[in-house]
Structure 1
Amino acid sequence: MLRAFSHTNGRCVFHHAKCWHHRKSVLAIRREDVNAWERRAPLAPKHVKELTQMGYKVLVQPSNRRAIHEKDYVKAGGIIQEDISEASLILGVKKPPEDKLIPKKNYAFFSHTIKAQEANMPLLDEILRQEIRLFDYEKMVDHKGMRVVAFGKWAGVAGMINILHGLGLRFLALGHHTPFMHIGMAHNYRNSSQAVQAVRDAGYEISLGLMPKSVGPLTFVFTGTGNVSKGAQEMFNALPCEFVEPHELKEVSRSGANFYLFFLTSDLRKVYGTVLSRHHHLVRKRDGLYDPVDYDKHPELYTSRFNTDIAPYTTCLINGIYWEQHTPRLLSRQDAQKLLVPVRSPAGVMEGCPELPHKLLAICDISADTGGSIEFMTECTTIDSPFCMYDADQHIIHDSVEGSGILMCSIDNLPAQLPIEATEYFGDMLFPYIEEMLLSEGSEPLESQNYSSVVRDAVIASNGSLTAKYEYIQKLRESREHAQSLKMGNKKRVLLLGSGYVSGPVLEYLTRDTNIDITV
């Protein structure tokens, strides 16, 4: 006898019936092995406890790296063992190694395949070959298209902590000691409460007027209104801050152009923030207006005025928006060059109190979408090496907080820095869908499953094929491969003779142009 369930707002509500078949269903939590910093899990012990009390068997692969200790899972009823082949549903956070996949199972994890990401296509091919059913958390959305399972809040929290730490380092490199020097990276705190206290302590020093006058007013711009942005704002609110409307940002920033005037007219004992929504910077190309319905249908007809209306008055950008190929960018490479123009004070500079080189000092790209809404964010940074400098004039990136350019932070696994809270938060959102995902074996036809829309629409692959909703992935792959073949045919070929002292700078210069194929 199957358990009956009804659908309420896209979510399954199960009516528990005594059923021997499903009481023996097995779930596994796989070990995360994508990198040394990945200490999260998809479910916390409290979720395992509830599942075992419902009659399910929960296997947990052993891992000393996991932030939540194994004994807590055992206490909750989980079974620690290496072999998880008994499970019909295998949960993870990040992608598993291709050689560890088990054929014809249900898998759930962030696959990063929905944009046909080249690095993950071998994994997708192996999933198809082994006839695995893949649920992708990223595509679990409600009837409004909003994600129902995500780490977004904790990406925002960790990202904000990190960029405040980075600003402390950048200011110091520019000749300024600031209270931000006392804020560490997010993973240095046992939990977010400790981090909040550190930010509050820095904020207390700011409230005492201990920020250098020559840096002027600090302005923080948060893009988007989702969980990422809210998480970042939650941490920002621990500072003495005032939120202003986007159109007020210019005046707030201008009052600091002459720091002597600023000292007389503005309050150095706080920082300023603004939250940017679509209507604040997106306009239709033909008439300069914004229509939300029209934008959703035809985003390619719109452009962003962020580069002219917002960015020139921004000290630190916290970017959390989702970007797609046909939507407007926030900043291009050309925009960055225009923004890195020095703003000189007519009053001159006091020795030992240098001016800032330009207004836009830092970008925390929490979206971590390379080449996306921030075009010149071409590669993610890491927890090991969290910051880099983008030199717009030279169009080069170097691992430092010194030199010319914009400080960049674009870590793609931010919640791993606060793994326990992130695991509990994520598990709370995922748990209502677990039992539904356990109802079938991965080898059974997808058409025979009575999934809710939230779960069904998250199935990328099943029974050896891409599902109908995701067949476009193959077309994207073919299109990219065709474009790459054409590009290779149009490449300039350069033969560089010699490997002496002269060759190094020449090679570095030539490699900036991706249309040049170099042979040394």
Structure 2
Amino acid sequence: MKQFKIGLIREGKIPQDSRVALTPAQCKWLQAHRPHLSFVAQPSPTRCYKDEEYERAGITLSEDISSCDILLGIKEVLVNALIEGKTYLFFSHTKKKQPHNQQLLQAVLEKKITLIDYECLEHEDGKRIIGFGFFAGIVGAHNGLMAYGTRTGLFRLDRVYKQKNFKELIHTYFGLRLPNVKIAVTGSGRVAHGLLEIMNLMGVHEVEPDEYLERRFNYPVYTQLKGYDLYKHAVTGNYSRQDFHEHPQEYVSKFKPYTRQTDILLNGVYWYEGVPRLFETEDISREDFIIETIADVSDDENGSVPINKRTQTIEDPVYGVDRTTKEITNPYLKTSVDIMAVGNLPNELPRDASRYFGEQLIKFVLDDLTGNSNAVLERATIARNGMLGSHYDYLRDYAAGMQQRSSG
């Protein structure tokens, strides 16, 4: 069997990410159980797993990774760090023609690189195979509740990143008593699963959408809103998941009644151009729009949450949007809606998130990556040897330098 040397590259994007694609223990296990694989880790002072941990696991540390066949990262690789002719796996954030990564895709093509995007690894029905969404939901739900507690003064939550791991975070919820809030959780994927995990850990009771809309409760409740709860066809009033994903522009949002009954919105909807927004920017001026805090875990600027105007940092995750002027303000003002929007939420629990991610990578991707390619990998290959992949011809103008702005 062909030998493969796999390199774990140092993250270069600022703010620097501390997550890894494979943990030291996972690399050690792979070298023992997949003799055709060997690993090299580029030294990094900011990784959540230290260089010494990789060394103790028997993994070579080397600044020079040019001998590696496959290079694994997390965030976008800096253009000047790309090595010609290599195969890379990372989140490139180019599939939606994001303007800030146009130069990255151009460089990938110029350097005849093969780029497989984690975000594009999907089953035939479009379900994502690999990702950090669950831990994004965990941290996003915590931060959303934390922001509401800070805003109202009714309870206090500490920051996630101050905890050593997820297990320690759970211990911080012991004794927590939430007020009689109503929380809307949107989405049905990994992010939503993370959001629901925190709802259950915090003792928030689930109620059905119709019951949620009809009354207030004397205890904290949440309702989960999936596709058929959120959207309907503009003409027929029906909802078909497949038709919605193929023709989202033909659908309209059904979320408006929930804006009159919701204190906190935890948004886990995967948004792309054409998908209806949950509400419109002008709606926040209405007297019956009572949402005070929105955790936009998906973090699409002007996306499903139209008043998400910018991405914040882990250190400073919350800002306000004035209900009248729609301008950005400081958080926690009575005249504003608070927005929690951070692009790298799982980085608050980097070791747990990395271990979870690596397990999926080993289970669903690695054997095919180093064996015979399959349809899943083909659909995720944005570029192969400097040519756009067969599923990404729509990026041709974007890759050629014609700026086509799209939200997200």
**What's the TM-score bracket when you normalise by the shorter of the two chains?**
over 0.9
Aligned equivalents of 1:90 and 1:477: distance in 2? 22
Residue 396, structure 1, aligned to residue 327, structure 2: yes
Question: How many percent of aligned residue pairs carry the same amino acid?
Answer: 29
5 Å matches for 1:14-53? 19=1, 22-23=2-3, 25-36=4-15, 38-53=17-32
Contact 1:88/1:438 (<8 A) preserved? no
CA contact (8 A) 2:311 2:341 kept: yes
Q: Letter of the 2:381 partner, please give it.
A: V
Match of 2:175 in 1: 201
Shift of residue 292, structure 1, vs aligned partner:
3.8
- Please give the per-residue CA displacement for 1:224-278, whole angstroms capped at 9, x wherever unaligned: 111111111111112232211111122333xxxxxxxxxxxx53xx311000012
Name the CA shift for 1:296/1:30 in 2 (closer, same or farther; >3 Å). Answer: closer
- Structure 1 equivalent of residue 143 of structure 2: 162
The residue aligned with 1:74 is: 55
Counterpart check, 1:230 vs 2:193: yes
Report if the CA contact (8 A) 1:58-1:77 is conserved. no
1:304 alignment partner, one of 234, 238, 253: 253
Distance 1:104 1:473, change over 3 A: same
The answer to whether 1:282 aligns with 2:231 is yes
TM-score (norm 2): 0.93
**2:391 partner SS:** helix
Which of 203, 211, 217 is matched with 1:240 structurally?
203
Cα deviation digits, residues 387-417 of structure 1 (max 9, x gap): 0001131010123323421110011101111
> 2: CA distance between counterparts of 1:231 and 1:482?
33
Q: CA deviation at 1:93?
A: 0.5
Q: Are the structure 2 counterparts of residues 104 and 155 from structure 1 closer, same or farther at C-alpha, using a change threshold of 3 Å?
A: same
Q: Deviations over 1:136-171 (max 9, x none)?
A: 000111122111111110000011111121112111
In the alignment, the residues of structure 2 paired with residue 456 and residue 148 of structure 1 have an alpha-carbon distance, to the nearest angstrom, of: 14
Indicate the residue corresponding to 2:130 in structure 1: 149
- Residue 106 of structure 1: which of 87, 97, 108 is its match? 87
Task: Give the alignment partner of residue 321 of structure 1, picking from 269, 291, 296.
Answer: 269
- Secondary structure class of the residue paired with 1:200: coil
Distance 2:201 2:140 in 1: 14
Residue 89 (1) aligns with residue 52 (2): no
Instruction: Give the counterpart letter for 1:134 in structure 2.
Output: L
> 1:412, 1:228 → 2: CA distance?
13
In the alignment, residue 169 of structure 2 is paired with which amino acid? A
1:184 — aligned with what?
A: 158
Pairs within 5 Å for 1:462-481:
462-475=384-397, 481=403
- The answer to whether structure 1 residue 252 and structure 2 residue 183 are counterparts is no
1:429 CA drift (Å) = 0.5
Rate the CA distance shift 1:236–1:438 in 2: closer, same or farther, 3 A: same
Provide the aligned C-alpha RMSD in A: 2.0
Instruction: Give the direction of change, closer, same or farther, for the CA distance of 1:363–1:480 in structure 2 (3 Å limit).
Output: farther
Shift of 1:61: 0.9
SS in 1 for 2:382: strand
1:133 aligned residue: 114
The alpha carbon displacement at 1:95 in A equals 1.0
1:200, distance to aligned residue in structure 2 (A): 2.9
**Equivalent residue letter for 1:114:** K
Q: State the shift of 1:363 in Å.
A: 0.4
1:284–1:290 CA contact under 8 A, matched in 2: yes
1:508 corresponds to:
none
Distance 2:96 2:176 in 1: 40
Q: CA deviation at 1:70?
A: 1.9
Partners of 1:295 and 1:33 in 2: how far apart?
A: 37
1:330-349 map, 5 Å: 330-338=278-286, 341=287
- Give the Cα–Cα distance (whole angstroms) in 1 for the partners of residues 246 and 235 of structure 2: 16
In our comparison, the structure showing a higher alpha carbon Rg is 1
Q: In the TM superposition, what is the alpha-carbon distance from 1:477 to its structure 2 partner?
A: 6.8
Instruction: Give the drift of 1:480.
Output: 7.0
AA aligned to 1:381 is Q
Q: Report what 1:405 is aligned to.
A: 336
Q: Which residue of the partner structure matches residue 495 of structure 1?
A: none
TM-score norm. by structure 1 comes to 0.74
Paired residue type of 1:462: R
1:75 Cα deviation from its structure 2 partner: 2.2
CA contact (8 A) 2:204 2:222 kept: yes
Change (3 A) 1:110 1:297: closer
Inter-CA distance 291–97: structure 2 relative to 1 (3 Å threshold): closer
Query: Structure 1 residues 65 and 292, CA, compared in 2 at 3 Å: closer, same or farther?
Result: closer
Greater CA deviation, 296-305 or 145-154?
296-305
Partner secondary structure for residue 321 of structure 2: strand
Partner Cα distance (1:468, 1:120) in 2: 20
* Alignment coverage as a number of residue pairs: 403
Shift of 1:434: 2.0
Paired residue for 2:366?
434
Residue 295 (structure 1) aligned with residue 244 (structure 2): yes
**Superposition pairs of residues 449-468 of structure 1, within 5 angstroms:** 450-468=372-390
Give distance in 2, aligned partners of 1:197 and 1:144: 37
